[in-house]
C-alpha cells in the first residue's frame, strides 16, 4: 500500500514514518485493494492532529485524532479506522443474512428490532450556479450542516459541509 504522508507543521521523522507504515499495513487485511491512503499530521496547541483517509473497495473511510503523543495518535486513528471497517462489514453481512422478501412470512404484529433505513422525505429545488462563498451564505440561511450546489467556477455539483471545528469543507468531483 502506498501511503501519502503530509505534515503541515514539522517534518515527520523517519522513525514515525516507519511506524505509520507498519500500523496502516494492519488495515490491508480488511480490503481487497486500497487504492489510496493519505495521512496528514500537524501540531497545534501542544497536540498532534493525525487525520487518515483510506479509499478502497468502493468505500472511503476517514478518522481524525488529537493527542499529545504522535505515536499514541497514530494508534488511536488506526483503531478508529478498524472499528469503522468492522462496523461497515457487519452491516453488509447482516444485509446478506436477511431472508428474501419472497420467503419472508412475518406476522403483522411482529416488528424488526433494527429496521432498515428508509427515505422519509424528498426535496426538489431549482439549482442555480453559484460560487462557494454564496453557497456558505445559503447554507447558513437554511440552517443545515451541508448544502448541495452547482459550482459556478467549475460547472460541477459540489457539496459544502460544516466541519466539527466550525470551518467548512467542500467536496468536489474529480475530473
Task: Count each helix (H run) and each strand (E run) in the chain, helices first.
Answer: 3, 7
pLDDT attached to residue 169: 94
pLDDT attached to residue 113: 64
pLDDT attached to residue 160: 95
CA 81 to chain centre: 10
| Cell numbers found for residue 13 | 521523522
Contacts of 20 (CB under 8 A, 6+ apart): 3, 5, 12, 39, 74
Q: Record the pTM.
A: 0.56
Domains of the chain listed by start with CATH number: 3-97 (3.30.160.100), 132-171 (3.30.505.50)
Instruction: Using the predicted structure, report yes or no on whether residue 78 has a pLDDT greater than 70.
Output: yes
Instruction: Using the predicted structure, report yes or no on whether residue 106 has a pLDDT greater than 60.
Output: no
- 110-169 pLDDT, tens digit each: 555 667 888 888 878 778 899 999 899 888 877 789 999 999 999 999 999 999 888 999
Distance, CA of 81 to CA of 35 (rounded, Å) = 16
pLDDT attached to residue 95: 73
pLDDT attached to residue 44: 86
pLDDT attached to residue 158: 95
- 84-104 pLDDT, tens digit each: 888 888 887 777 777 666 555
CB 80 within 8 A of CB 63: yes
Distance, CA of 17 to CA of 7 (rounded, Å) = 11
Phi, psi of 124 (to 5 degrees): -125, 140
- 28-61 pLDDT, tens digit each: 887 777 778 888 888 888 899 999 888 877 778 8
H-type alpha helices, the chain: 14-25, 70-97, 132-142
Specify the higher pLDDT residue, 38 or 3: 38
Amino acid at each position: 500500500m502506498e501511503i501519502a504522508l503530509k505534515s503541515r507543521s514539522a517534518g515527520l521523522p523517519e522513525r514515525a514514518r516507519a511506524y505509520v507504515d507498519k500500523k496502516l499495513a494492519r488495515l490491508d487485511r480488511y480490503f481487497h485493494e486500497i487504492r489510496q491512503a493519505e495521512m496528514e499530521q500537524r501540531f497545534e496547541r501542544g497536540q498532534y492532529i493525525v487525520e487518515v483517509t483510506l479509499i478502497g473497495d468502493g468505500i472511503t473511510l476517514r478518522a481524525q485524532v488529537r493527542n499529545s503523543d504522535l505515536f499514541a495518535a497514530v494508534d488511536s486513528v488506526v483503531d478508529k479506522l478498524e472499528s469503522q471497517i468492522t462496523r461497515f462489514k457487519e452491516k453488509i453481512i447482516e444485509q446478506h443474512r436477511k431472508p428474501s422478501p419472497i420467503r419472508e412470512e412475518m406476522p403483522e404484529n411482529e416488528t424488526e428490532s433494527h429496521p432498515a433505513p428508509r427515505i422519509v422525505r424528498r426535496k426538489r429545488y431549482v439549482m442555480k450556479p453559484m460560487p462557494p462563498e454564496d453557497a456558505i451564505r445559503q447554507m447558513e440561511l437554511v440552517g443545515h450542516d451541508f448544502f448541495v450546489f452547482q459550482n459556478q467556477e467549475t460547472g460541477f455539483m459540489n457539496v459544502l459541509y460544516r466541519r466539527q471545528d466550525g470551518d467548512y469543507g467542500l467536496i468536489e468531483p474529480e475530473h
